[in-house]
Amino acid sequence: MHYAMNQKPSHVAGIKEIARALDISIGTVDRALHARAGVSHSTRDRVLKMAKKLNYRPNVAARNLKLNHRLKVGVFLPEQIALFYDRVREGIRAACATESGIGVDLVFHSFPRLGEGESNAIEKAGWQQFDGIIIAPGNSAELGPIFSKFEGQHKPVIFVTTDAARLPRLASITTDETASGGIAADLLGRVISSPAKVATITGDLRIQGHAEKLRGFAASLATLSPHLSLLPAIEAHESPADAYNAAVDLIKKHPDLGALYVSTANSLPVLLALEENGYLGKVLVITTDLFPELVPFIENGKVFASLYQRPFAQGKTAFEMLIRFLATRVAPKQITRLAPHIVLRSNLSLFINLVYNDDSSSLSI
């Protein structure tokens, strides 16, 4: 028994065959197909109809050869946290390497940290030169005018790793932050069955993603794990010292703390504080992202889970979208939210190798 589903049996035609069929020149056919000036309405209609009839497919290779335009893509990402953003860069590079059609020039620019010096970097880089831009936008409103102008020129901007809904952009790729928070609350509620106090340590609630995670966490906790009571959120502003002190404070104030959700990558000082005070292993901890220092904590079960934001996949997706738009001018879905990966000690090895050893081919994370 076998079933065939051949679906491209039909001959695909080129510009020449349309011309021959209509007994006109290929120049005219080209003008008609591309809605260029200098074609009568009637011939244009005839051409378009014939194109459909003969199943016209433009030959991308020929077009690229003729136009021979290399695309210039500017990538603007923070230096910190390097392990995270380097992985985004790797995803972009990997996607670029697979690109067989158009030639793409990648230009990487960095700025110190998220929301710090980005517009400066863009200005200095001469953003006018780029056909498209990939960027992690901070909350700085300075970016608005630049991107508005960029859009005015029909040049695409794609946001990665963090979104800024108020800024004009072609598309944004992030993990689903609301879901991240929700997963954390869901898991904690499953593992802890009796009433307990839960704390959260975040970065800065003015950053869209950080706020979303917390909203997701609170909402999920209320509906799925109502036996857990949420303490007020603590903002550590990505500062290790602040995080450490906040954690020490926390366990002093709430010695009966049951669980803790650290919603940014700034979890190491928190774990240290717990360890030094004998709370590591007693408090159920869920962290965010993955880096070498976190690995042993997951391995020995002191950190129950970490929510991995898939930097490689984000970079790869962003680049693919950008190129696709540049090639076809068809707008992609504006908002893409990747599912974060839940890293446990049982699947840790799947993610950890990739942090060091990049095979560049896969979207496995």
Partner DNA sequence: TTGAAAGCGCTACCAC
Partner DNA sequence: GTGGTAGCGCTTTCAA
Query: Total number of residues binding its own copies (CB under 8 A)?
Result: 80
Residues 6+ apart with CB under 8 A from 126: none
User: What is the C-alpha separation between 283 and 285, in angstroms, rounded?
Assistant: 6
Interface residue with DNA among 20, 21, 30, 79 (CB under 7 A) is: 30
> Strands 305-308, 341-343: parallel, antiparallel or unpaired by DSSP?
antiparallel
Establish if 132 lies at the interface with its own copies (CB under 8 A): no
User: What is the C-alpha separation between 272 and 305, in angstroms, rounded?
Assistant: 17
Interface residue with its own copies among 16, 25, 36, 101 (CB under 8 A) is: 101
* Least distance in angstroms from the C-beta of 23 to its own copies: 25
Are the CB atoms for 116 and 138 separated by under 8 Å?
A: yes
* Nearest one of 129, 143, 221, 216 to 174, comparing CA atoms: 216
For 58, phi and psi rounded to 5 degrees? -65, 145
Establish if 8 lies at the interface with its own copies (CB under 8 A): yes
Query: Total number of residues binding DNA (CB under 7 A)?
Result: 28
Task: Give the one entry of its own copies, DNA, none that residue 55 binds, where binding means its C-beta sits below a cut-off of 5 to 8 angstroms depending on kind.
Answer: none
Tell me the HSE value of 243 on the side-chain side, using a 13 A CA sphere.
24
Establish if 125 lies at the interface with DNA (CB under 7 A): no
* Per-residue contact string for residues 185-214; x = within reach of its own copies by CB under 8 A: xxx--xx-x---------------------
Q: What is the dihedral of CA 27, 29, 35, 36, to 10 degrees?
A: 10
Nearer to DNA, 27 or 101 (CB): 27
* Least distance in angstroms from the C-beta of 17 to DNA: 8
* Per-residue contact string for residues 32-71; x = within reach of its own copies by CB under 8 A: -------------------------x-xxxx-xx--x---
Q: Which range touches DNA (CB under 7 A), out of 24-32, 189-197, 214-222, 269-277? A: 24-32
Interface residue with DNA among 26, 192, 218, 272 (CB under 7 A) is: 26
> Strands 284-288, 228-230: parallel, antiparallel or unpaired by DSSP?
unpaired
Q: Which range touches DNA (CB under 7 A), out of 54-62, 292-300, 305-313, 337-345? A: 54-62
Establish if 15 lies at the interface with DNA (CB under 7 A): yes
* Nearest one of 241, 174, 240, 245 to 210, comparing CA atoms: 174
Establish if 120 lies at the interface with its own copies (CB under 8 A): yes
Q: Which range touches DNA (CB under 7 A), out of 21-29, 168-176, 253-261, 315-323? A: 21-29
Rounded to 5°, angle at Cα 56 from 53 and 58: 170
First vs last Cα of the chain: how many Å apart?
Answer: 38
Establish if 68 lies at the interface with DNA (CB under 7 A): yes
* Least distance in angstroms from the C-beta of 335 to its own copies: 11
**β-pair partners for 77:** 110
Interface residue with DNA among 21, 43, 219, 347 (CB under 7 A) is: 43
